[in-house]
Amino acid sequence: MYPEDRREDWYRGQGLWSGVSESDWGDWRWQLRNRITTLEELEERMELTREEREGCLFARNKLSMAITPYFFNLIDREDPDCPIRRQVIPSSGEMVRSPEEMLDPVGEEGSMGVDGLVHRYPDRCLFLVTNVCAAYCRYCTRSRLVSNAQGYDFHPNYENAIKYIEEHTEIRDVLLSGGDPLLLSDRKLDYLLGRLRAIKHVEFIRIGSRIPVFLPQRVTPELQEVFRRHGPVWMSIHVNHPSECTEELYGATERLSMAGVPLGNQSVLLKGINDDLKTMRSLMHRLLMMRVRPYYLYQGDLITGSRHFRTDVRKGLEIIEGLRGHSTGYAVPQFVVDAPGGGGKIPVNPEYVKEISDTEIVMRNYEGKIYRYPLVAGLGTNGKSVPDWVPEEVLV
């Protein structure tokens, strides 16, 4: 199932919770009840740096800390630069607010049709269904909302949001997000998906979730049945580093796929975590092995206290160029910047087009070689002049 030289990377097991029964370990509710949520619980299990301790104290007022036992076991407790550790353990960098940073960096608040429903694009909307996650990413673009550490006091009104979608017939695509929709009960998810499926002009239902990564035990036979009943429901998961690609995640994506859920992945480019070609190539290849199509690579949003995570946009372009041509096209995500203030996702690509004239487009490939492709006006026909880019052998 997995390459022999990577088997250790894929398998992690119960680690510090080796005394817990397999039935408890495999119960997603047990995992939630036993999350690490306080500084004291964290210090019982590992030695923190001064920056981490300060970050944990500050997290109570910015974005709560929560780490499932499963995901905690992926942390290298001896390495302060561990890419898993830095994603979920707060640091003092979160206390620093840079001038360019905002509480709502992508302008969701200004695009809400009703509370909890963002209608920015003409044919689709973002339906925020909860403010709770299984674990909290320290660079979260909705840190103003999730965990309620900042007193946002978010209470989604499902009926108001569904009524808005029913009344706006231009909406054909609904994305459920939050917080994490898969923390809702099977019954509530079944209800929401059923209501949306009953709206004739809604053609496309999606879910954004990091639950398969933080809490793969949540993908139960009962949840599979919910997705089968209302499918196809598309899902974007969120994996940032190859070390997150465990046997448990593989099992969760397999179960989702078998329930008819098409899977994509959205990664965030994070400084010191995945901002190098080798790491990103390994991640993209492992995702494909798990039936997950790399979808987006995001430049980090300008959320308050996130500067220590952000890279230069040119680093993202460099990574995309390093993937293109050296990996299958399925393994190359679209690099995007979610424009500050509500401009939406803007694709950012390496420059492959060198010139466009009235007769041809001049391009370079992944090796830097130059190629020319004729535009319609430059085609030679019926014995007329033939452009000089046409090889002589095709004229015989």
Active site residues: 120-121, 124, 133, 137, 140, 142, 301, 338, 345
Which of 2, 62, 83 is closest to 251 using CA atoms?
A: 2
Contact 251, 221 (CB under 8 A): no
Q: Dihedral of CA 310/316/319/324: which sign?
A: positive
**Alpha helices of 259-343 — where are they, by DSSP H?**
277-289, 313-323
Cis peptide before 232 (omega within 30 of 0): yes
C-beta separation of 209 from 183 below 8 A: no
The token pair that represents 355 in the structure block: 């010139």
- Indicate the DSSP class of residue 86: H
Tell me how far CA of residue 310 lies from CA of 99, 107, 262, 337, in angstroms: 14, 19, 30, 12
Burial 376-392 (b: 16+ CB within 10 A, else e): eebeeeeeeeeeeeeee
Parallel/antiparallel/unpaired status of strands 117-118 and 112-114: antiparallel
Query: 228 and 187 in contact (C-beta within 8 Å)?
Result: no
Type of residue at 152: Y
| Dihedral sign (CA 141, 72, 26, 243) | positive
Give the closest residue to 165 by CA, choosing from 206, 130, 194, 200: 200
Please name the residues in contact with 377: beta carbons below 8 A apart, sequence gap of 6 or more: 358, 359
Question: Max alpha carbon distance in the chain (Å)?
Answer: 83
For residues 48 and 56, is the Cβ–Cβ distance under 8 A?
yes
Cα-based distances in Å from 108 to 25, 153, 193, 285? 37, 16, 23, 33
> Hey, what are 256's tokens?
């989702």
